[in-house]
Structure formats: C-alpha cells, structure tokens
Amino acid sequence: MGKPRIGFIGLGTMGRPMALRLLEAGYEVMVSDRRPEATRALEAVGAIAMPTPLLVADRADVLMSCLPTDNELFEVYIGPEGALEHLRPGAIVIDFSTATPMMIQRIAADAALRQIQVVDAPVCGGPVEAQQGRLTLIVGAEPAVFEQVLSILQVLGQEIHLVGGPGMGKVIKLVHNLIAGSALVLIGEALTLAANAGADLHKVFEVVRSSSGDWQLWNEVVPELLRPPTPVANFRLDLMKKDLELAVRLGADLGSPVPLTALSHQFYVAASAQGMGQAPAHEVARIIARLGNAHLERAAPLLDLAADGGQGDGA
C-alpha cells in the first residue's frame, strides 16, 4: 500500500517547514493558504498548490492544519464551506494548531459523524526544529488512530507523546506555554532586580545556570536578553499573549484559578501595545526592565547596600 496523500492547510512560520519535511520524505502533499505566495513557494519544490481547503480535502487521505486560532479552525473544518464535508469516510485530520481544546473536540465530534478520525497534535519547538524534524508533538488521539499516523508524525517530531483523546493535546500545550510565558516574566523581574542592585548579569546567568535554578528556558533566553534586542522571532510575543489568554479562559471555564498566568498575560498585553508584538516572546522581560528603569544589555551602577545603614527590611 502506498503512502497516503496529505493535504496541508496553513503555511505560516511552522506549517511551511513541516510541509517541506513531508515532501522530502516522499509524500504527495497538497497545500492551501490564504497567501498565494506561500503556496507558490512550496509548489516550486514539488507540492501541489490548490486555491481552497475544500479542493485539498476532496483529494486528501490525511488532512493537516496549522492555524492561528479557533476562528480559522472553525472556518476550515465546520464553517459554511467546511472541509469535513469534503473528506471521504476513513480520512484522518491532524491539527497542529495551538487553540482551545473545546474547538478541536467540537471538530472531532462532527468528524465522527462522517467516520473521520481527528488527531490533536500541537507542537513545541520553532522553525529550526520543524526544518530538522525535531519538534515535540503532544498528541491527543484514540490509540488505534495514533498508531495509524505515527510514521507520519515521526517525520516531523523527535519527541511524540500520546497524552489522551482529542483535546488533551491542546490542554497540555496550554499548560506548557502557561509555564513558559509566566517564566519569561519572572526572568525579567529577576534580571531587573539584579541590574538595579548593580550585579553583573553575566555572573547572575552563570551562577543560576550552575545551580538549582538551571533550566533550558533560562539558558536559552538570558543570553539573548543581555544583548541588544533582535527582530528575529522563532516564537512571536503576540503568539504567547494569545496562548496565555487561552489558558486564562480555560481556567475560567473549569473554575481553576490561574492568577499568576492572568498577571503575566497583562505584561504581554502591555508589550504588544508598545509595538513589540512581532518581537520574540522573551522580549517581554524588557517591559519589566523599563518599569524598573533598568537596561538588561548593559551594566547598571553599583547599589550602595550600606546607604540605609545596613538595616534592610528586618524580614
């Protein structure tokens, strides 16, 4: 039996390199995107470009999507011209979007009525990991369906975790980004305090890295913050703002408090309002630094800790 025909909808920062990986692995890949230039670029390397998702769905055995929000997922799959009505019984949908678990569960319920299976597979990693097939995939699917698509997922991901049924992939992705997004705010707070105390931030980085505070996000982000800001974004600040908002909404729906996430989200709102939405997500730390009148990329003047007679807070 030959390889399934794959349709791919959404050729943005992540979708494009994922579709390229599938082409390189020898799959027939049909693509559709609102931007004609995105489909033309993939057509030049062997993809079959189609003007609408419906035409992709008509021919696909496996329909994949990597879309920004619930609105696009609804429009593509179950809106007035939804792709589910054009997929044949037995087809499989694999969605890589970071969106709400409720939307993918709604799509899965509608798909089941048409004998179509849905795999919920949001990803962790950036464009470089996507190009190299080193993404982490958080998969929500029925075990039998997971086994059917595992060989395809292995083209895209190095770490593949089956975490439950459709919807649970998106729950765990939101939990992942809740931790990362809030931690970036905390990193900004810590570096700002250190800078205002006159600490050498490079020494702060080294000490934390070599002690119990060591973790991957710290090691990757702090060196970037100690340099002038860069416009190159693997993961944009506005995307983290969106994901934290989704986590806050999920918490409200479940009656599960997420106060620190809600507070962290406001810093992303502030950064976006200042025109930083297309910058890397870690640039939110500079918003904290501005509040503290600190500059992370250069040394702050040494604080005279004896200025108050060494009394401190008494805590």
Query: In 10 A of CB 158, how many CB atoms?
Result: 13
The average pLDDT across 7-27 equals 95
Spell out the domains of the chain, with CATH numbers in brackets.
6-165 (3.40.50.720), 171-291 (1.10.1040.10)
- Whether residue 312 is predicted with pLDDT greater than 60 in this model: the reply is no
Q: What is the pLDDT of residues 167-202, one digit of tens each?
A: 999 999 999 999 999 999 999 999 999 999 999 999
Q: Which residues are CB-contacts of 14 (< 8 A; sequence separation ≥ 6)?
A: 66, 96, 123, 126, 127, 130
Distance CA 239, CA 235 (A): 7
> pLDDT-derived band of residue 278, with 50, 70 and 90 as boundaries?
very high
| 194 and 297 Cβ atoms separated by less than 8 Å | no
Query: Which are the contacts of 54, defined by CB distance < 8 A and separation ≥ 6?
Result: 81, 83, 86
Query: Catalytic residue positions?
Result: 173
Where is mean pLDDT largest: 38-42, 147-151, 297-301? 147-151
User: Has residue 301 got a pLDDT over 80?
Assistant: no
Sign of CA dihedral 279, 283, 289, 295: negative
Give the pairing type, strands 92-95 and 117-120. Answer: parallel
